[in-house]
Structure 1
Amino acid sequence: MTYEREQKEYMLPDMDSTFKVFAAHWRTVEHNWTFPCHTHPMFEVNLVLSGTQEMIVNRKTYVQKTGDLLLLNPGDIHESRVIGGEEMTYYCLHFDVDERAFRELLCRNTICFHTSNSDLAHAIRPALDKLIALTLEEASVRVEARMRALSTLFELFAAVSGHLSQQGSDSTSGSRMSQTASNIAARLERTVNETADGIKERSDTESVASIAKEMGYSMSSVNRMFNHVFGMSPRQYLSTLMLKKAKLLLMEPELTIESISTKLGYKDIAHFSRQFKRWTGESPGKFRDRFYK
């Protein structure tokens, strides 16, 4: 008698996410330093290393002492100044991610100020200290230093998401809003993928509008819910998906730029090239040349 051996298999989930880090910097400023009121479309971590900073976020004032940090969401209106009559040193990191679950955790968070002895500060400070050390290295532009920075950024993201996941879920209405926004995001992702695979044609306006209509919501309701959950509009999210897909296709050398523009639903290569340059500041050809010369 023969017996079939049981086999086990464990797999990581497929991952297709991108992120951007912008203007990460360590800085010492004088006792009378101020930064004017502004907003931006990225998340921000702001950590005071010495001295005292007053930060006004959405009209609420916070006083950051050594080790205190702020975690800001896209669109938060904020301004800052040094108080206490002494110079201040701080570290600031702006980032953006298209990972839906992580964005939702970040945007759901309503607590932006975290003292030095808070759970979040304890969770993310080790990764922040590594990033600060890498920022201060003169060799930070070298490939191995950049790879260490990427590794540390993922440590930071994991620590932030782990902490925010433990905070629990919102109310029932918030959960319904989250589910609706997630369904819209999933349908937009499917639209982009099916367009690239030649299954369907795409129109930016029709994609979002038709999804809203089919789900029984007005465009204003869809925009409000999506912004609340993900910190951006459905159209902005669709643009991030299109850009990511365009970059992936451009890294396939056997595809011509014209065929890529067709795959992405553009009527002609000129339209695609203009849009890609608006997104990235460079043409599709220049982007491809950085990988294949």
Structure 2
Amino acid sequence: MEDVPERMRKEYLLPDMDSTFRVFAAHWRTVDQDWKYPLHKHPLFEVNLVLSGTQEMTVNRTSYIQKPGDIILLGPGDEHESRAIGRENMTYYCLHFDVDERALRELLCRNKTYFHASNSELAAAIRPPLDKLIRLTQDEGAERVESRMITLSALFELFAGISGTLSKWDHGNAVSRMSQAASQIASRLERAVDEAEEQSMSEHDVETIESIAAEIGYSMSSVNRMFTAVYGVSPRQYMSTLMLKKSKLLLMDTELTIEVISAKLGYKNIAHFSRQFKRWTGESPSSFRSRFYK
């Protein structure tokens, strides 16, 4: 009898995906003509859309005038301040987010075009999902499961619009030596987390980064500089993000005790893992698990 695989003539598969993102302080706000926000920076990406009135946004010492429909796209560490200008109130929508998808992070961090006019390619690509998010932000029932799923759908549309547009602009550009090195470092960090041994990761992560630096022939300072320039976070921060994601996935497997999970992740004991998890999330592993399984 002929084997089933030999009878197969054509097959299409979606690629495996394992990615997380976080959204912070998304808000719709109307302010008066004297409003201003002081100079600051943060480790997040930001989309800022003016809906009415006029805003002056200064990014890394360059000022941009935002009219309705104009968008500012910022990366981690970009210094910025803003103020309403003119004689009328100003309404804007602001969304902060973080993603661990390496290709998207690299595109976002490489982008240095902060201002996108209302008739720009990027604005056309991301305005529809932004409008959905604005409506959901104003929805009193936003906590409903259905609304949360619609929100997730709109966020994925937003990320797709950003990545699709930035990829077009980036097409044909030679991948720099720095980007290649950073990608190597990220791949090795991901492998190190997947193969975590039974030792304290808070002690082990620095050793891991040092060994990766030696392996690819760069100093620790060069590795930190290149990685942060390409991905917007340090290698150690990136490794912590990977560890947190793996921790959450394991905690959602109720057949595993927290003690077993602690050992799988390479911690010396459960107390050490619990302290680290609480530093990351503000809650204990058992508290996180109980929110899903009561």
Shared fold, TM over 0.5? yes
Identity among equivalent pairs (%): 70
Contact between 2:198 and 2:266, CA under 8 Å: does it hold in 1?
Answer: no
C-alpha deviation, 1:262, in angstroms: 1.1
C-alpha deviation, 1:168, in angstroms: 2.2
Distance in 2 of aligned mates of 1:152 and 1:143: 14
Distance in 1 of aligned mates of 2:277 and 2:262: 10
Alignment match, 1:177: 178
C-alpha deviation, 1:276, in angstroms: 0.5
Distance in 2 of aligned mates of 1:265 and 1:163: 40
Alignment match, 1:138: 140
Distance in 1 of aligned mates of 2:239 and 2:282: 18
Alignment match, 2:242: 241
Alignment match, 1:228: 229
Aligned-pair RMSD on alpha carbons?
1.6
Q: Extract unaligned runs of 5+ from structure 2.
A: none
C-alpha deviation, 1:263, in angstroms: 1.0
The aligned runs of 1:189-204 (5 Å cut-off) are: 189-195=190-196, 203-204=204-205
Contact between 2:198 and 2:267, CA under 8 Å: does it hold in 1?
Answer: no
Distance in 1 of aligned mates of 2:223 and 2:100: 18
Contact between 2:84 and 2:90, CA under 8 Å: does it hold in 1?
Answer: yes
Letter in 2 for 1:274: R
Deviations 1:136-169 (A, max 9, x none): 1121111101100000100110011000000025
Letter in 2 for 1:143: V
Alignment match, 2:255: 254
Deviations 1:84-125 (A, max 9, x none): 121000000001000001101111111011011111001111
Letter in 2 for 1:255: L
Contact between 2:200 and 2:268, CA under 8 Å: does it hold in 1?
Answer: no
The aligned runs of 1:11-50 (5 Å cut-off) are: 11-50=13-52
Paired residues, number: 288
C-alpha deviation, 1:291, in angstroms: 1.1
Q: CA 1:5/1:200 → structure 2, altered by over 3 Å: closer, same or farther?
A: farther
Alignment match, 2:119: 117
Contact between 1:25 and 1:91, CA under 8 Å: does it hold in 2?
Answer: yes
Following TM superposition, the consecutive aligned residue runs of length 4 or more in structure 1 with deviations greater than 3 angstroms are 169-172, 198-202
Q: TM-score, normalised by structure 2?
A: 0.94
Contact between 1:194 and 1:200, CA under 8 Å: does it hold in 2?
Answer: no
The aligned runs of 1:36-185 (5 Å cut-off) are: 36-169=38-171, 172=174, 175-185=176-186
Distance in 1 of aligned mates of 2:126 and 2:27: 17
Letter in 2 for 1:216: G
C-alpha deviation, 1:36, in angstroms: 1.1
Secondary structure of the residue aligned to 1:291 is coil
Distance in 2 of aligned mates of 1:289 and 1:185: 32
Alignment match, 1:292: 293
Letter in 2 for 1:213: A
C-alpha deviation, 1:199, in angstroms: 9.0
